[in-house]
């Protein structure tokens, strides 16, 4: 199957990067290479490093970016290892970073990848990195009721999280839950019928929660944003596209704290904590998809782009 991925907010992201033809750029979530292609074609002596943990994505992007030769370097890794990946390549600073945190259309539309609640006969998988020994099936069958409740409540923001977690645990006492169809049936039993007629597929939030937990999506984002900002040269920019409120909140708070890191009490006449700003938030409000993009790709509906620009301050905190 061809690796298809519509690059959300493509034009807006490229514009915000302020690409320099001799700059060094990192696409930390390479996917099908859409953002990377637009970056690479604007480089003359510059470099692009593409990182992805999905082997299918790397193969597809490699073919797409082949024309750019040694201007492009692709690495199979989670973007959480960006600092180490760059260090191994002899790169200390970069001029721009892109993170598109969405699940690719290829992953959603390939039944064997087990991301979708639409493919009821497929096994529950959801691994972005297929080297990971743990799958969604393991979470559904091995997590305690309290842990299932926690992730469905926190990562899925589902108000019926307790019902869903309880019913999963009851069902798996009878037989192991291995397919999307089995899990969907349990979720439907856990949500009042009258509420299932609106708000999309009843399983959507639970699948999001399991996927986030399995791939450590919020943890990776939360733990590494400050390091990514430290990687930027002066005037370098990081552009992050999020697809749900949990990711967006992490990015918004991290950018704000890097712009204004002072922790002194508000009644102090001068700052004494010594924390200095690393730059500025370029997007006071996130950039959203255009009406045209929404018409072309309904999956872009929840996308938000936030941008941070580094200053020359080398003090870290």
- Of 150 and 316, the one with more pLDDT: 150
Compute how many other C-beta atoms are within 10 angstroms of the C-beta atom of residue 314. 9
> How distant, in Å, are the alpha carbons of 129, 184, 213, 251 from that of 113?
10, 17, 16, 28
Residues 177-205: tens digit of each pLDDT: 999 999 999 999 999 988 877 778 899 99
pLDDT at 6: 66
State the average pLDDT over residues 56-84. 96
Residue carrying structure tokens 């010594």: 274
Mean pLDDT (the chain) is: 92
pLDDT at 164: 98
pLDDT at 314: 52
Using CA atoms, how far apart are residues 294 and 296, in angstroms rounded to an integer? 5
Banded pLDDT at 5 (limits 50, 70, 90): low
Give the tokens for residue 232.
């930027």
pLDDT at 316: 47
State the average pLDDT over residues 217-232. 97
State the average pLDDT over residues 110-139. 92
Using CA atoms, how far apart are residues 261 and 307, in angstroms rounded to an integer? 17
Residues 154-163: tens digit of each pLDDT: 999 999 999 9
Question: Where do the domains of the chain lie, and which CATH numbers do they carry?
Answer: 10-106+218-310 (3.40.50.150), 112-215 (1.10.150.170)
pLDDT at 158: 94
Q: What are residue 268's phi and psi, to 5 degrees?
A: -70, 135
Residues 283-299: tens digit of each pLDDT: 999 999 999 998 988 87
Q: 37: buried, middle or exposed (CB in 10 Å: 19+, 13-18, 0-12)? A: buried
Q: Which of 115-129, 134-148, 260-274 has the lowest mean pLDDT?
A: 260-274
Banded pLDDT at 1 (limits 50, 70, 90): very low
pLDDT at 166: 98
């Amino acid at each position: 199957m061809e690796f298809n991925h519509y690059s959300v907010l493509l034009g807006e992201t490229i514009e915000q990067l302020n690409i320099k033809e001799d700059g060094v750029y990192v696409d930390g979530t390479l996917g099908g290479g859409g953002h990377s292609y637009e970056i690479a074609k604007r480089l003359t002596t510059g470099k692009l490093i593409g990182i992805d943990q999905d082997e299918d994505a790397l193969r597809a992007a490699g073919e797409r970016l082949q024309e750019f030769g040694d201007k492009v370097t692709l690495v199979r890794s989670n973007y959480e290892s960006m600092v180490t990946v760059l260090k191994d390549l002899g790169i200390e600073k970069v001029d721009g970073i892109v993170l598109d945190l969405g699940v690719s259309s290829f992953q959603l539309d390939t039944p064997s990848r087990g991301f979708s609640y639409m493919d009821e006969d497929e096994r529950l998988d959801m691994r972005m990195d297929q080297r990971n020994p743990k799958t969604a099936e393991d979470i559904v069958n091995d997590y305690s009721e309290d842990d299932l409740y926690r992730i469905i409540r926190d990562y899925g923001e589902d108000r019926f999280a307790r019902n869903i977690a309880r019913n999963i645990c009851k069902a798996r006492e009878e037989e192991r839950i291995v397919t999307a169809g089995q899990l969907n049936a349990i979720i439907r039993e856990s949500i009042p019928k009258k509420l299932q007629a609106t708000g999309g597929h009843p399983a959507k939030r639970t699948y999001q929660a399991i996927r986030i937990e399995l791939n450590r999506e919020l943890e990776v984002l939360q733990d590494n944003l400050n390091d990514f900002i430290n990687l930027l040269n002066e005037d370098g920019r990081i552009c992050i596209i999020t697809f749900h409120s949990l990711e967006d909140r992490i990015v918004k708070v991290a950018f704000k704290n890097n712009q204004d890191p002072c922790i002194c009490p508000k009644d102090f006449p001068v700052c004494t904590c010594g924390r200095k700003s690393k730059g500025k938030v370029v997007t006071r409000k996130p950039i959203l998809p255009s009406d045209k993009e929404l018409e072309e790709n309904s999956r872009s509906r929840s996308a938000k782009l936030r941008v941070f620009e580094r200053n020359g301050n080398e003090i870290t905190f």
